[in-house]
Chain A
Amino acid sequence: MDKKGVKLMDPVLVAKKLSKKYGKVVALDNADLELYPGEVLGVIGDNGAGKSTLIKALCGAVIPDSGEIQLDGNKVSFTSPIEARKLGIETVYQNLALSPALSITDNMFLGREIRQKGFMGRILKFLDQKAMAEEARKRLSDLGLLTIQNINQLVETLSGGQRQGVAVARATSFGTKVVIMDEPTAALGVKESRRVLELIGEVRARGIPIILISHNMPHVFEVADRIHVHRLGTRLCVIDPKKYEMSDAVAFMTGAKEPPLN
């Protein structure tokens, strides 16, 4: 990915001077963030640096006290993750927010089911299970996930990596502009993590930019195009993973080393 080429485009998602206080604790202090088309932006920061508050503000789970969020150049505001999702900001939560006892198809369409056409759908509100199954299958195969044998199998019968795959497939539906992934590899083994990192590559290849929050430096350095370092409630710097070592990033994060001037 050519970094200069990326920078020439307008950002998809911009956060400007976001602030959020909890009592006397300043969680966000004029924090900025830009996400460019087709990139994976890693977000790292020490515990308590405010990165999760930043992400929650972007996905609608927290309403910032001040500052603004722009999507495709337009100012947006939302009061819930559902509203953010309607605008095209999808979040894959750390706990995945899946219902284990429901099938893969049910989970992928939970809260936005497809109804049958005509009387059966409009009056009796019957679901179009065939259409949902086909669409679910298509999305999974687009992401190279067709190793899942049966899309009507229950999510609880899937492995951790496969569940992550279902959550990501759900997030990358038609009209998704941004995918936010919160610690996607935290609960996974080595090889399943690898599969999820490949999955992130698949999503990027489809032109959907990703914000990746992770504590796992090797994972962030492997897939991120740029890395946003968060410290003391604001953006400290943005670094290019090709030009810096992981030890540098940790040093910036903890304040052991002066950040580069952007």
Chain B
Amino acid sequence: MNKISDDISKDLKDQPKFTTDIGEKDQDHHSFDLGEQTTLKKIQHFLHGNPTIVPVIILILSVIAFGFIAGGKFFSAFNLSLIVQQVTIVGILAAAQTLIILTAGIDLSVAAMMVLASVFMGKLSVEMGIPTLPAILVGMISGVATGAFNGLLVTRLRLPPFIVTLGTWNIFFALVIFFTGSQSIRSSDIEVNAPLLHFWGERINLGGFVFTYGAFLMIGIFIFLWFLLNRTAWGRHVYAIGDDKEAAELSGIRTDRMLVSIYAVAGFVVAIGAWVSIGRVGSVSPTSFYEGNLDSITAVVIGGTSLFGGRGTIIGSLFGALIVGVFSSGLSIAGLDVLWQRFALGCLIIVAVGIDQWIRKVSN
């Protein structure tokens, strides 16, 4: 790495510069602002190059702010780790959602997919007496299949992802009701018949910080997806498709096949979330996580990923989910009504998208 940068700086010295060859005058609307910049412009450029910085700053500021507002109770090890526990499911859904949004799509059905997968896991192992591991496997397959189904509709029928997943959200939800008859599978029944389903809900105490195994799994999923997105061709193609689908196609990427695989991978991540959610909630409830679809989109958007695709980081979504968690926890400890949590979250979404739009102007 050092060698390359040395070489580059050497070459820069030896070679005439593009700008000096061309002259300053003709550069005005093509060049990358080599002239003096205002501080605001510099900030804009910096944020453009480092999209994860915004959510990190918001997270730090909100933690400090709620530390003041809510007092020491907020900063207790128990509360901070509780926030992580609480955002586990939305975090995993947001990880899957990030993949879809990076392709300039949106998935309104992630939470319904997750509940459907958890219903398969619970139903088969608890009520039909199938061993737990095969039941979990069926749930995983359900996640991948429902994800791929979304992807196929998007690519084969050329329908906008918003409409496709609005439709499948309802379809998956109806299937959940059909398979369960609106009945929850009780936590105690799961504990007796399929304790493995509760595995990710088990807790570990690290000096006052209480974490579930599921929280670690969520972190693991984000790290895994980071490597996938940044270190493999598949990941680079996710960005290329979201950035400019036509250009990606001309570069030799089979965009339709890629899109189906992206939706399927998202479905797989969601299915992992299904297993974790059983541990988190205890029971399998057909009506749980009804707001999970929108919550996951909120986390991704606050995390700095652009709804127009091609821009954003997977780690940003983790911070986005944590920000939502910090807001909910801080406001409730401060004794504010739930309605103000909603209100604050709404403002946060609009601010986040506004900042994104402003940063994106750099490239024009």
A133 within 8 A of B: yes
Instruction: State whether A102 and B236 are in contact (beta carbons under 8 Å apart), knowing that A95-B247, A97-B251, A137-B4 are contacts in the complex.
Output: yes
Is B21 on the interface with A (CB-CB < 8 A)? yes
Tell me whether A159 and B27 are in contact (CB under 8 A): yes
Chain B hits for A107, CB < 8 A: 251
State whether B231 touches A126 (Cβ < 8 A).
Answer: yes
Known A-B contacts A125-B234, A126-B232, A189-B26; the reply to A97 vs B32 at CB < 8 A is no
In the complex, A93→B246 CA distance in Å? 11
Is the Cβ of B363 less than 8 Å from the Cβ of A100? yes
When A137-B8, A191-B26 are in contact, do A147 and B231 touch as well, CB less than 8 Å? no
Q: Is B310's CB within 8 Å of the partner chain A?
A: yes
Are A101 and B311 neighbours in the complex by a CB distance under 8 Å? yes
Q: Which residues of A contact B4 (CB under 8 A)?
A: 130, 133-134, 137
The answer to whether the Cβ of B288 comes within 8 Å of any Cβ in the partner chain is no
Q: Which residue of A lies closest to B9 (CB)?
A: A149
- Verify A125–B233 contact, CB threshold 8 A: yes
Interface range for B: 35 or more
* Interface residue? A99 (CB, 8 A): yes
Beyond A110-B253, A141-B11, A147-B17, is A99–B32 a contact (Cβ under 8 Å)?
no
Least Cβ–Cβ distance between B97 and chain A, in angstroms = 19
Complex partner residue of B32 from A93, A101, A113, A159, CB under 8 angstroms: A159
Query: B12 at the A/B interface (Cβ < 8 Å)?
Result: yes
Complex Cα gap A62–B40 (Å): 48
Cα of A146 to Cα of B16 in the assembled complex, Å: 9
Contact (Cβ within 8 A) A82 B252: yes
Interface majority SS (helix, strand, loop, mixed), chain B: helix
With A99-B310, A126-B232, A137-B4 already in contact, the answer to whether A111 and B253 are too (CB < 8 A) is yes
Q: Are B15 and A99 touching (Cβ within 8 A)?
A: no
Shortest beta-carbon distance from A69 to chain B in Å: 19
> Do B12 and A102 touch (CB < 8 A)?
no
Bound-complex Cα distance A150 to B22 (A): 19
| B-side contacts of A149, CB under 8 Å | 8, 12
Write the chain B residue with the least CB distance to A121. Answer: B232
Residue A11, interface by CB 8 Å: no
B233 engages A192 (CB within 8 Å): no
B23 adjacent to A191 (CB under 8 Å)? yes
Chain B residues within 8 Å of A85, by CB: 252
Q: In the assembly, what is the distance between CA of A181 and CA of B47, in Å?
A: 35
**Given A99-B243, A100-B244, A190-B26: A156 and B21 within 8 A (CB)?**
no
Chain A residue with minimal CB distance to B30?
A159
Q: Shortest 5 CB-CB distances between A and B: which pairs?
A: A111-B252, A147-B18, A159-B30, A97-B250, A113-B233
A110-B236, A144-B15, A146-B12 given; 15 more Cβ-contact pairs under 8 Å: A82-B252, A95-B247, A96-B247, A99-B244, A100-B243, A106-B239, A110-B252, A110-B253, A112-B252, A127-B233, A147-B17, A147-B21, A156-B363, A161-B18, A161-B22
Q: List 23 A-B contacts (CB under 8 A).
A: A85-B252, A97-B247, A99-B239, A101-B311, A107-B251, A110-B237, A110-B253, A111-B251, A125-B232, A125-B234, A126-B232, A127-B236, A130-B1, A141-B11, A147-B21, A151-B8, A157-B363, A161-B22, A162-B18, A188-B30, A189-B26, A189-B29, A192-B30
